[in-house]
Chain A
Amino acid sequence: MASSVPILAIRDLRAHFHTRRGIIKAVDGISFEIQKGETLAIVGESGSGKTVSQLSYLGLLPMPPLRIAGGQAFFHDTDLIKAGKDKLRAVRGDSISMIFQEPMTSLNPYLKIGTQLIEPLCLHRKLSKKEAWKVASESLEKVGIADAARTMHSYPHEFSGGMRQRVMIAMAITTKPEVLIADEPTTALDVTIQAQILELLGELKKETGMSIILITHDLGIVASVADKVLVMYGGKMMEEATAHELFSASSHPYTTALLKSTPRVDIPQEVLPVIGGSPPDLSKLSPGCPFYDRCALRLDACKETAPKPCSLSPSHRSFCHLETVQ
């Protein structure tokens, strides 16, 4: 799998917000690759730069205040960072689609579901409204909405959150995208619906062969659906591994702490272990490891020098001084 050419390759992406308080390095040196049909999970706490890492190279954040301070984002052969606005707009919603966290507000309340669903098709595929209506209706069926023809004529407020998320997914897949970026798609849904949506994403992936980038902070989801995992903290990469490697042999102290703080049903626990302290202020980061202040295993070197990536296997890299010391 690793030998083939990736669909999307992000190299050393740096996205900084220039604000009055100073430069906020929301994303600082993120690299990842995704192959066809692969699911990559990006994990991290709130404010670790998960979402910004995706939105930035798609041109979905206002510039200024955002500035891409460096890096490349190759989608096939095109560097999206260098691509113009029109080129990006042509890619977005066509080959790279997104679904969002909040299904309740992700649909325009004043337009029929059908009218919204055909929008990307009319725009990118240049279909007539009638053809687009048919295709959109089919993709509604694909996401498990039984009465697709009627749903097309309904308005968003007539649906529950889970149904709306299905509609959002339908909208994202109408154009048969190669990459689907799902930004915490199940955070706002209850657990049973969560499972259904994840299952649906899995089925769609199998059926269409698209790749999924799943942004989440739920390690349970990661374990059940991801092939590869990227752990982020303070805008930086902490660890990159296959899901199996991450759960069986995590190396980075942050990942280990994160895994430890997941509630377990199989082990009796009195108190849930947590990571002490709070996430760093991204405008006042030291040149060293962002996790320094909260790390239980920190070394003196961690404070001043950024850790170099250390390969533990071809697919497993950890950004920690501990690995280099050993």
Chain B
Amino acid sequence: MSSTLVTTMDSSPEQAQLLTSTDDAGISPWKDAFHRLLRNKIAVCGIVFLIVEVTACIVFPWFSRYSFETQNLEAALSPPSAQYWLGSDALGRDLLVRILYGGRISLMVGVLATFVTVLVGVVYGAVSGFLGGRTDNVMMRVVDALYALPFVFLVIILMVFFGRNIFLLFIALGLTQWLTMARIVRGQVISLKQKEFIEAAHSMGISNTAIVFRHLIPNSLGPVIVYLTLTIPEVILQEAFLSFLGLGVQAPMASWGTLIASGVGSMEVAPWLLIFPALVLSLTLFSLNFLGDGLRDALDPKGAKD
């Protein structure tokens, strides 16, 4: 906004007219934040890496000679070469393709579980913060109680009762991650509730539901988005952890977690089986963290240190 303002002030009235008429729609705070984000180089690197990675995960396996389960026992444990770019595993499966297939799973788990987190956490937190008083107290004590619940147990119990199902994994991960989100949103809503525009909305006779969903939630989304970029890596890590324990995806399907787990086993004979999946996982987590950092600065320009 500041840049347009400056140019409008410096330029002649005609130019100013021209300038303002080009962005007729007005600059929303979201657009503003996006422009600030694009000025942050390291965050942009993160975005580019994630885009490339997601595209590769989706597109590359279609064109590859190998599928994630194509075995070639004669080429077992071959180091990176022209034939197997990132080497092959003990069953002669191409590691690159397996990493990309694994990426599909890991990223999907990350995104979908986080989506569940946001859905549950935001609504729960917003309602709790908005209603306040005793209701808020009870709702937050429930969150506290759930915090105390060991999450691995919960997942194991779910897996044992309902079988190993990838969607169950999403839900289980989402359900254990929403607590912090709910707390963040509740805090936001409580502080926003005092703002004049909410008072004004009440004075205009707007219903409570509309106030929560049209005014309170959109205004608390900044921290939610930032936390979201931190939740995705956490969920990916937890999926990796569960897969490592053998509770995640099932062979021959792979996720980054299972790849790393099997890579650890053959670390001494075939280090590439550990190095490459671990590298991809770390780079993804870094990118998401940089993006989250960038978003935080972009969404809260006053708090950012230049």
Contact = CB atoms under 8 A, between A and B. Distances in A.
B26 A93 contact: no
Interface residues of B, number: 26
A94 B205 CA distance: 8
A150 B21 CA distance: 9
B27 A158 contact: yes
Contact of B204 (A92, A155, A157): A92
B26 A92 contact: no
A92 B29 contact: no
B200 interface: yes
Interface in A276-305: none
A111 B29 CA distance: 9
A220 interface: no
B29 A157 contact: yes
Contacts of B205: 88-94, 120, 123-124
B62 interface: no
A119 B204 contact: yes
B202 interface: yes
B25 interface: yes
B196 A92 contact: no
B202 A60 contact: yes
Contacts of B204: 92-93, 97-98, 119-120, 123, 171
A10 to B, nearest CB: 17
B195 interface: yes
B1 A153 contact: no
A41 interface: no
Nearest to A106: B196
B203 A58 contact: yes
B197 A112 contact: no
A109 B28 CA distance: 8
Contacts of A157: 1, 29
A119 B206 contact: yes
B215 interface: yes
Contacts of A88: 205
Interface residues on A, range: 35 or more
Given A98-B200, A105-B196, A110-B219, A155 B207 contact: no
A19 interface: no
A107 B26 contact: no
Nearest to A114: B26
B30 interface: yes
A168 interface: yes
A247 interface: no
Interface string A71-90: 00000000000000000111
A155 B219 contact: no
Contact of A100 (B1, B20, B199, B219): B199
The residue among A88, A97, A111, A124 with the most chain B CB atoms within 10 A of its own CB is: A111
Contacts of B1: 157-158
B24 interface: yes
A120 B195 CA distance: 19
A94 B203 CA distance: 10
A110 B202 contact: no
A46 interface: no
A171 B205 CA distance: 12
A161 to B, nearest CB: 12
B196 A102 contact: yes
Contacts of B215: 108, 111
A154 B26 contact: yes
B218 interface: yes
B26 A112 contact: yes
Contacts of A155: 26-29
A110 to B, nearest CB: 5
B30 A110 contact: yes
Interface in A230-277: none
B128 to A, nearest CB: 15
Interface in B208-262: 214-215, 218-219
A110 B206 contact: no
Contacts of B25: 153
Contacts of A58: 203
Indicate the member of B26, B27, B215 with the most A CB atoms within 10 Å. Answer: B26
A155 B29 CA distance: 8
B29 A153 contact: no
Interface of B: 1, 20, 24-30, 132, 195-197, 199-207, 214-215, 218-219
13 contacts: A91-B205, A92-B203, A93-B206, A105-B196, A105-B197, A107-B200, A108-B215, A108-B219, A111-B218, A119-B206, A120-B204, A120-B205, A124-B205
What 6 pairs between A and B have smallest CB-CB spacing? A93-B204, A93-B205, A154-B26, A92-B205, A98-B203, A106-B196
